[in-house]
Chain A
Amino acid sequence: MRYEAPQTTPEAVALLAGTKGKVHILAGGTDLIVRMKGGFVEPDMVLDIKRIKAMHLIRKTKSGLSIGAAVTCGEMGVHKALKKAWPGVVESANLIGSDQIQGRCTITGNLCNASPAADSIPALIAADARALIAGPKGERLLDVGSLPTGPGKNALKKGELVVSIELPPRDARSADAYLRFTPRTEMDIAVVSAAVNLTIDRQGVITAARVALGAVAPTAIRVPAAEKALLGNKLDAATLAAVGEACSAACKPIDDKRGTVEYRTRVAGVLAKRAAQAAWMRAGGKP
Chain B
Amino acid sequence: MTQLVNTNINGDAVGFNCETDETLLDVLRNRVGLTGAKEGCGTGDCGACSVILDGTLVCACLVLGMEAEGRKVETVEGLSDGAELHPLQSKFIEHAALQCGICTPGFLMAAKALLKNNPDPTEEEIRYALAGNLCRCTGYDKIVRAVQATAAELRGG
A residues less than 8 Å from B1 (CB atoms):
1-2
B38 to chain A, nearest CB (A): 14
- Residue-wise interface mask of B (115-151) relative to A, using a CB-CB cutoff of 8 A (1 in contact, 0 not): 0000000000000110111000000000000000000
Once A and B bind, how many residue pairs between them come within 8 Å at the CB atom? 86
Interface with B: A33-41, A114-122, A146-154, A194-202, which one? A33-41
Within 8 A of B (CB), among A9-53: 26, 28-30, 33-34, 36-38, 43, 46, 48, 50
- The answer to whether B21 and A1 touch across the interface, beta carbons within 8 angstroms, is yes
Within 8 A of A (CB), among B51-66: 53, 56-59, 61-64, 66
B residues less than 8 Å from A74 (CB atoms):
56
A residues less than 8 Å from B66 (CB atoms):
3, 5, 48
- The answer to whether A104 and B43 touch across the interface, beta carbons within 8 angstroms, is no
- The answer to whether B43 and A97 touch across the interface, beta carbons within 8 angstroms, is no
For chain B, give the interface size range: 20 to 34
Q: Which residue of A lies closest to B58 (CB)?
A: A103
Is B67 on the interface with A (CB-CB < 8 A)?
A: yes
> What separation, in Å, do the CA atoms of A72 and B19 have in the docked complex?
26
Q: A34-B62, A48-B67, A104-B63 are in contact. Are A1 and B113 (CB under 8 A)?
A: no
A159 to chain B, nearest CB (A): 22
- The answer to whether B63 and A29 touch across the interface, beta carbons within 8 angstroms, is yes
- The answer to whether A104 and B62 touch across the interface, beta carbons within 8 angstroms, is yes
Is A187 on the interface with B (CB-CB < 8 A)?
A: yes
Is B90 on the interface with A (CB-CB < 8 A)?
A: no
Q: Which residue of B lies closest to A75 (CB)?
A: B56
Is A98 on the interface with B (CB-CB < 8 A)?
A: yes
A124 to chain B, nearest CB (A): 22
> What separation, in Å, do the CA atoms of A33 and B58 have in the docked complex?
13
For chain A, give the interface size range: 20 to 34
B24 to chain A, nearest CB (A): 10
A residues less than 8 Å from B58 (CB atoms):
100, 103-104
Tell me whether chain B's interface is mostly helix, strand or loop, or mixed.
Answer: mixed
- The answer to whether A101 and B59 touch across the interface, beta carbons within 8 angstroms, is yes
- The answer to whether A187 and B132 touch across the interface, beta carbons within 8 angstroms, is yes
- The answer to whether A97 and B42 touch across the interface, beta carbons within 8 angstroms, is no
> What separation, in Å, do the CA atoms of A1 and B20 have in the docked complex?
6
- The answer to whether B23 and A98 touch across the interface, beta carbons within 8 angstroms, is no
- The answer to whether A99 and B3 touch across the interface, beta carbons within 8 angstroms, is no
Q: A99-B57, A101-B59 are in contact. Are A34 and B132 (CB under 8 A)?
A: no
- The answer to whether A97 and B64 touch across the interface, beta carbons within 8 angstroms, is no
Is B50 on the interface with A (CB-CB < 8 A)?
A: yes
Is B9 on the interface with A (CB-CB < 8 A)?
A: no
> What separation, in Å, do the CA atoms of A50 and B68 have in the docked complex?
11
The one of B19, B45, B113 that contacts A99, using a Cβ cutoff of 8 Å:
B113
Is A256 on the interface with B (CB-CB < 8 A)?
A: no
B3 to chain A, nearest CB (A): 7
Q: A1-B21, A36-B21, A186-B128 are in contact. Are A99 and B110 (CB under 8 A)?
A: yes
4 cross-chain pairs, A with B, having the tightest CB-CB distances, nearest first: A98-B132, A186-B131, A103-B56, A3-B20
What are 11 A-B contacts defined by CB distance under 8 Å?
A2-B20, A33-B23, A37-B23, A43-B21, A46-B21, A48-B66, A97-B44, A98-B131, A98-B132, A101-B59, A187-B45
